[in-house]
Amino acid sequence: MTTGTSITLLLQASNGVPALALGRGDAIIFDSSTVEALAGSRDYRMLLETGLSEIGAELNDLSLIACDIGPGGLGVTRTAAAFANALGFALSLPILALPAFKLLGAEVAGHSNGSAKPVAILRRAARPHVHFGIYEPDATGGKLVHYEHCLEKSALEQIQNMDDYDLAGNIEVEGHASPVTNMAAMETMLKLALAAPTPAPEARAWPIVEVLE
């Protein structure tokens, strides 16, 4: 790295809406999801060019690329991973892959001010399947303790057995408050990216695959 302004590039996609952010140190300095004119664009190149020019940085200032690998929207998650991987390849940067449910769990646990409730995460897959995860908060942040691609019925049965929980994702559970959110804030993503072990030099993003038997 030739410059002291190391920038982290963050890509999210699996909730269906492409979003790109840039962080300097531990602060988000550009976030496409908060810019009305950019929200909903599927053009990661345009989002990145806009972000870099807005903060007065160049591609070579990037020091880390973190990419959401789902599970979630097939096309947009592949788009983000392919874009991130090729950028990492061309710039000789590794890609830090972050599972969406880890992001969502950390996001919701962060909201609840230390209530330490587990987070049940449900995301729509090809019907009648869902992606189902459980995130356990702890003193150091928390971790994703369960993930499976299963029938919606099976996920709901497992949720019924949980005492108390916060809900995240994009599926309502009868008798429970609506999901807190289906997208982690870029601040949460940056925090997780900076806390993660440095990825191997040629690490790439491999989206979580949904294959029906």
Partner 1 sequence: MSGLILGIETSCDDTSVALVDRAGHVAAIRTVSQFEIHEAFGGVYPELASRAHLEAILPTVQGVMEEASVTPADLTAIGVTRGPGLIGSLLVGLSTAEALSMAWDVPAYGVNHLRGHIRSVALESGRTEFPAVIMLVSGGHTLIAELKDAWSYRLLGSTRDDSVGESYDKVARMLGLGMPGGPAIDKAAKAGQPVLRLPRPMKNEAYEFSFSGLKSSVARHIEKHPEVSVEDMSASFVAACMDVLAAKADRALDACKPRSLVIVGGVAASPQLRDAMGKVAAKHGVELCLPPMKWATDNAAMIAMATWDYVERGLQPGLMPKPNLSLETP
Give contact residues for partner 1 (rule: CB under 8 A). 44-45, 48-49, 59, 74-75, 78-87, 89-91, 204, 206-207, 209-211
| Main-chain dihedrals φ then ψ at residue 76, nearest 5 degrees | -70, -30
**CB-wise, 35 or 59, nearer to partner 1?**
59
Q: Kindly state the smallest distance separating residue 88's Cβ from partner 1, in Å.
A: 9
Q: Kindly state the smallest distance separating residue 158's Cβ from partner 1, in Å.
A: 25
Structure tokens given for 76: 């947009």
**CB-wise, 91 or 145, nearer to partner 1?**
91
> Of 76, 62, 72, 65, nearest to 102 (Cα)?
72
Separation between Cα atoms, residue 144 and residue 86, nearest integer Å: 28
Q: Kindly state the smallest distance separating residue 52's Cβ from partner 1, in Å.
A: 10
**CB-wise, 71 or 169, nearer to partner 1?**
71
Query: HEC states along 3-69?
Result: CCCCEEEEEECCCCCCEEEEEECCEEEEEHHHCCCCCCCCCHHHHHHHHHHHHCCCHHHEEEEEEEC
Q: Kindly state the smallest distance separating residue 39's Cβ from partner 1, in Å.
A: 18
Q: Kindly state the smallest distance separating residue 81's Cβ from partner 1, in Å.
A: 6
**CB-wise, 192 or 205, nearer to partner 1?**
205
Q: At what angle do helices 74-91 and 44-55 cross, to 10 degrees?
A: 50
Helix (H) / strand (E) containing 93: none
CB 87 within 8 A of CB 51: no
Q: Kindly state the smallest distance separating residue 122's Cβ from partner 1, in Å.
A: 20
Burial group, residue 152, by CB count within 10 angstroms (0-12, 13-18, 19+)? middle
**CB-wise, 53 or 115, nearer to partner 1?**
53
**CB-wise, 89 or 160, nearer to partner 1?**
89
